[in-house]
Amino acid sequence: MAIFAVGPFGRPSGKIGNVVFYELNGQIVGRGIGKAGKPSKKQLANRQAMSATMDFLKPMTDFINVSFKSEAEGSLKNPHNLATSYNKKNALTGEYPNIRVDYTKAILSKGQLESANQLKISKGENGLHLSWDSSVAENGENDDLLMVMISHPGRKRASSYLNAARRVEGICYLPLAKDWMMEEQMEIYVCFKSANGKLISDSTYVGNLNGAPATKEQKAVETQYHATKTRYDLVAANYDKKRLDFAEGIPESKAFRCLETEYFALKSKLLMLQEKPS
């Protein structure tokens, strides 16, 4: 996409060659049309980065429309554009084809209001107990409202609480609507907004509950490890048997040398797979 200023020939509009011009938020933009060629690795990485970001943010529309409202005012971007830009740039980890969200770095609001501190989260019977430091140090008020976002990445769902409690209360209970929510991965974020809705704080990552499922990369390593271990156990048993059969010396046959080579190769591979970061 390209953005154009009005030139000596006026405002371009419609189709010119393989480019279509139109107005968006008061600006003239142009988009190429037609069949695209084979994407480069960089393009594929960008697509995966955008997909990961959108999968994370899409269920949070109601929350983001409030949390980024003040920053979007007076700009050409809407709240969702801002949230997408911040998180695509700051909250992703890994290389293509294993790009994913780093939930600890996600940004769900930006503002000048005093943020939440000393946050604690725990599971209750059918929901979550959340507490925070209710004191005000600088730019905050007792009647600031707590906003809470609970992301359920495994389901591409989210639970939002736009008026969970007042800052001064220091504690609140967050009921969860579905039974599965209590057992599956949760990533929790909070921010404060002023009572009149004009000010917002930066979001704070509270933490994770119920852990996280293995990534595709981790699953691939685990599958490879089990396959290698199965083969190693078979080869090791055969290797040990051959050694016992020739207790007085190492057999010199080509078949044994091949068996021994495979034995040590598999043993080394298992150690390498065990040492791979999870």
Residue 155 CA, distance from chain mean position: 13
- Angle at which helix 254-275 crosses helix 216-245, to 10 degrees, equals 150
φ, ψ of residue 219 in degrees (nearest 5):
-65, -40
Confidence of residue 277 (pLDDT cuts 50, 70, 90): low
> Which residues, listed in sequence order, are joined to residue 173 by a DSSP beta bridge?
129
Quote the CA–CA distance of 231 and 227 in Å, as a whole number: 6
Residue 107 CA, distance from chain mean position: 11
Which tens digit of pLDDT belongs to each residue from 174-225?
999 999 999 999 999 999 999 999 999 999 999 999 998 777 777 888 889 9
Provide the residue ranges of all domains of the chain, joining segments of one domain with +.
1-34, 60-209, 216-275
Quote the CA–CA distance of 132 and 40 in Å, as a whole number: 47
Strands 19-24 vs 171-175: parallel, antiparallel or unpaired: unpaired
What would be the CATH architecture of the domain defined by 60-209? Sandwich (2.60)
A 10 A CB-CB count for 180 gives 12
Which tens digit of pLDDT belongs to each residue from 62-114?
999 999 999 999 888 999 999 999 999 999 999 999 899 999 999 999 999 99
The amino acid that residue 264 corresponds to is F
